[in-house]
Structure 1
Amino acid sequence: MTRAATTRPRGPVAVHGSRASFARYVADAEARGALVVQPRMGFSDPALMRAGLRATRDAAEAVVGTLTIDSYTRVGDELSAVRALNEDHSLNGYPISSLSPHTSRWVLDGVRDPSFPVQVRHGSARPQRIVAALAALGLDATEGGPVSYCLPYGRTPLADSVRNWQQACEFLASLRATGAEPHLETFGGCMLGQLCPPGLLVALSALEAVFFHRAGLRSISLSYAQQTNSEQDVHAIHALRRLAAELLPDTEWHIVLYTYMGLYPRSREGALELLERSAELAVEAGAARLIVKTVAEAHRIPTVAENVEALRVASAAARDAHRAAAARTTHRTSAGAPPVSDNPVYAEARALIDAVLGLDADLGRALLTAFARGYLDVPYCLHPDNAGRTRSYIDDSGRLTWSEIGSMPIGPVARSSGRLTARGLFDALSFVQSRHDNHVLAPTAAPPRRPRPLAGLSGGTSRR
């Protein structure tokens, strides 16, 4: 087993294997009316990882594979990863920079090809070694971002993450000189998984995409995680599509939707129902790719078989949604994104983006200033570089909205309301889980109680 040789990747490297474009595969699937589905999957056993990729490849009409990286590698602790491997301990992902390149090439050989791209997913604020390792294997698709892979995952200073991601993005962009078209997906639209109103999610996803673009990347996907209200989610995805068109010239881009990332239904029926709703949302709103969740989500790490089931269920639901859309004479997405006046998510996101871009010509410095001033402020996020003065709640219609906006420059477009009680916060965290579990277990029962904005506790105090 060998470790990656350098901390900071430098210069173009040879790309081995297929030159298939990740983005082109997604675009071709979208053109023929197929939603690309993708699992979260990572195993430290190379044989199991290879078997998982092969099973994924055969699971659906349009599918891409995933190498999800283990926690040691994410934080740069490769010595612990190597020690665990030498002692035959399983890790919670694939240790791409600790296994030998020969082993990793064997995992991919005969599996990854132009008809089956593979993306590396990692969650690291220090991605340089991971990016160098994936490039050495001929892989060129990954994801993350300077904000989204910093604030929720630890206490790495935001300034360090911005610098690290600048280096990683520039290295990925340098691969274009080898004939590859490296693809980078934002994670900004998935901050915290739940309870972050869509306007901020969309703004963060778009800002990270601009960060990637300015570093030289021209193949980008923008993420958004399914939230609590389908109409609000449609507005969010429309807003993200519109912003991508406005902010990313000369770029091949698409939207990737994540099946709900908060507390997941515990029942099998509820979990599958929520997965199907996410596939339908992707089709309705115009997302090209869907990251799925399994029936095991609320209980443990899923097996390969459970991932395959989720891919098949999501793909089938998407096909049905496409057929239903084709059968209708009018379709909500046929006219494109609604006007600004009709899309409050776009208006809020645009206000945040404009405020950040106006702070500094260097977007990295602008992001740091925006968080220092509280222009960007993620609710319930405890990272030291997050102001912690915003709060959100779920209103009576199931929409995520702001109860406290702190210093974010969204006063004219955000409707701030009452504060969230401690009980209300608990109800909000379990809102989606309860809605789907109660629906399938007790169809005649009353819907789960919605957390109401009440005077009193705010769910936390200002940290600055």
Structure 2
Amino acid sequence: MSARAFGRFVADARAAGRLVVQPRMGFGSPERMRAGLTATKRASATTVGTITLDSYTRLGDHGAAGRALAAGADLNGYPIVAHDTGTTGAMLAGIVDETFPVQVRHGSPAPELIFRRLCDLGLTASEGGPVSYCLPYGRVPLAESRRSWQRCCELLASARESGQEPHLETFGGCMLGQLCPPGLLVAVSLLEGMFFRQNGLRSVSLSYAQQVSQGQDEEALHALRRLAARFLPDVDWHVVLYAYMGVYPRTVAGAAALLAEAARLAVRAGAERLIVKTAAESARIPTITENVAALEHAAREAAAEGKGSEEVTETGIHAEALAIVEAVLGLDGDVGKAMEQAFHKGYLDIPYCLHPDNAGQASSYLDSDDRLQWRDTGRLPVAVPRHDSGGHLGAAELLDCLSRVRRRFDGFDQEPVEAPGAGAGWEVRR
């Protein structure tokens, strides 16, 4: 199974002026997973493939995944450990090649068995991180996740011995999907990228999730690129933008407009890759056809967008992220241990995250201009104005913040996603 390195593929696409678009796609059946990868490869866009794993595998319950397969259950992703290597190898045969690298996406805080299976299969691209795949998803201690991810980095890096260049993407810029101010998202994304580098990876990608304000997002993406150039000078890196991960529009037109905004933002701000969402996100798991429609819609919108300026209005995101990064790095020469200590001290604190290792003192809100602001910075090493009312949002105010994007984009006059045939195309009527 020969494939061009994931990072090199993205770099070549950027050099050619093309945005790489990628689905979130995973099916329990090898036949359906192969069909999804084949459709992604054939889409009218510059694509990379995704194998998203199921919930049992993410949690390390491989026995339950195997039993579900034996019972014919419809899993919500591909159980890469429960399927034997011969089955998955056959599923990938003729798909993964120089024109189409594939990334495995999972969500596990302790993914050693997953990474061992990737290495057995010759797959060398994955994503996650010791913080970003620990705090939002369960109660695994951060120290345990950090040690596990260190071993996983070393496992993946060993693929270099066979002449391949492995790639790892941090999920750190997507913590909880929303209501995390961009300075902290940028800092966590960069810190996880530095953790990957310290543990043997030389090709990484840094993530950021689309929020509510395009201007704020553009500033954040520029800040992330500046910091990556400074702190990862000897690494092959690129930036990946995630289309909005919060409460999604219910209408096809609203979903299409939100994805178009993400694609255009990616081009203007210099992101090399975009993780798309589909018209079905608010209702159900999307079909293969809906995934392909989203990929092609995003590619068209990206192609129509002119390259942005390197100049952006500075409101302090870069300075805030830099202050956090420098404070964390000052705690320990080992980046993983430094992040662990930073959460203990409150230098890193994710708003509205209930994990026991998170201080839970910092909170945020959306202001009247749809910009994410700190309501309370807790012990974060940043100097920003504190919102007058302090404390956490009330239930009504939190619901308003979470629903603002849906309300804005569902102002379009269009049939709901649940309507027969909806989602296969992106015809937008305003």
Are the aligned partners of 2:182 and 2:372 in contact in 1 as well (CA < 8 Å)? Answer: yes
Are the aligned partners of 2:119 and 2:155 in contact in 1 as well (CA < 8 Å)? Answer: no
**Offset at residue 19 of structure 1 (A):** 4.3
Q: Which amino acid aligns with 1:332?
A: S
Aligned to 1:328: none
C-alpha distance in 1 between matches for 2:251 and 2:159:
45
Of 146, 153, 167, which residue of structure 2 is paired with 1:183? 167
Are the aligned partners of 2:2 and 2:98 in contact in 1 as well (CA < 8 Å)? Answer: yes
Residue range with higher mean Cα deviation, 169-178 or 413-422: 413-422
Alignment of 1:16-165 (within 5 A): 17-165=1-149
Q: Which amino acid aligns with 1:27?
A: A
C-alpha distance in 2 between matches for 1:422 and 1:296:
27
SS in 1 for 2:410: helix
Q: Which amino acid aligns with 2:337?
A: R
**Offset at residue 415 of structure 1 (A):** 5.2
Q: Do residues 370 (structure 1) and 365 (structure 2) align?
A: no
Distance 1:343 1:24, change over 3 A: farther
SS in 2 for 1:63: coil
C-alpha distance in 2 between matches for 1:19 and 1:269:
37
Aligned to 2:371: 399
Alignment of 1:304-383 (within 5 A): 304-322=288-306, 325=307, 331-333=308-310, 342-383=314-355
Q: Do residues 433 (structure 1) and 406 (structure 2) align?
A: yes
Are the aligned partners of 2:21 and 2:276 in contact in 1 as well (CA < 8 Å)? Answer: yes
C-alpha distance in 1 between matches for 2:74 and 2:122:
26
Q: Work out the number of aligned pairs and report it.
A: 413
Q: Which amino acid aligns with 1:427?
A: D
C-alpha distance in 1 between matches for 2:33 and 2:342:
40
Q: Which amino acid aligns with 1:426?
A: L
Distance 1:441 1:101, change over 3 A: closer
Aligned to 1:290: 274
Q: TM-score, normalised by structure 1?
A: 0.87
**Offset at residue 417 of structure 1 (A):** 4.2
Aligned to 2:395: 422
C-alpha distance in 2 between matches for 1:27 and 1:107:
27
Structure 1 vs Structure 2 CA RMSD: 1.4
SS in 2 for 1:438: coil
Are the aligned partners of 1:402 and 1:417 in contact in 2 as well (CA < 8 Å)? Answer: no
Q: Which amino acid aligns with 1:359?
A: L
C-alpha distance in 2 between matches for 1:388 and 1:231:
28
Aligned to 1:449: none
**Offset at residue 59 of structure 1 (A):** 0.9
**Offset at residue 418 of structure 1 (A):** 3.2
C-alpha distance in 2 between matches for 1:198 and 1:417:
20
Deviation string 1:140-193 (CA, Å, 9 cap, x unpaired) is 000000000000000001110000000001111122122110000000000001
Residue range with higher mean Cα deviation, 187-196 or 433-442: 433-442
Are the aligned partners of 2:348 and 2:380 in contact in 1 as well (CA < 8 Å)? Answer: yes
**Offset at residue 60 of structure 1 (A):** 2.8
Q: TM-score, normalised by structure 2?
A: 0.94
Structure 1: give runs of 5+ residues left out of the alignment: 1-16, 326-330, 443-464
Aligned to 1:457: none
**Offset at residue 196 of structure 1 (A):** 0.6
**Offset at residue 110 of structure 1 (A):** 0.6
Aligned to 2:421: none
Distance 1:377 1:88, change over 3 A: same
**Offset at residue 75 of structure 1 (A):** 1.1
Are the aligned partners of 2:377 and 2:386 in contact in 1 as well (CA < 8 Å)? Answer: no
C-alpha distance in 2 between matches for 1:74 and 1:422:
30
Are the aligned partners of 2:253 and 2:412 in contact in 1 as well (CA < 8 Å)? Answer: no
C-alpha distance in 2 between matches for 1:125 and 1:182:
20
Of 217, 231, 234, which residue of structure 2 is paired with 1:247? 231
C-alpha distance in 2 between matches for 1:243 and 1:370:
19
Distance 1:414 1:49, change over 3 A: farther
**Offset at residue 250 of structure 1 (A):** 1.5
**Offset at residue 438 of structure 1 (A):** 2.1
C-alpha distance in 2 between matches for 1:76 and 1:421:
35
Deviation string 1:79-128 (CA, Å, 9 cap, x unpaired) is 00000001111111000011011110111111110100100000000111
C-alpha distance in 1 between matches for 2:125 and 2:337:
26
**Offset at residue 215 of structure 1 (A):** 0.5
Identity within the alignment, %:
57
SS in 2 for 1:384: coil
C-alpha distance in 2 between matches for 1:244 and 1:279:
21
Which consecutive aligned stretches of 4+ in structure 1 deviate over 6 angstroms post-superposition? Answer: none
**Offset at residue 344 of structure 1 (A):** 1.1
C-alpha distance in 2 between matches for 1:53 and 1:151:
30
**Offset at residue 428 of structure 1 (A):** 0.3
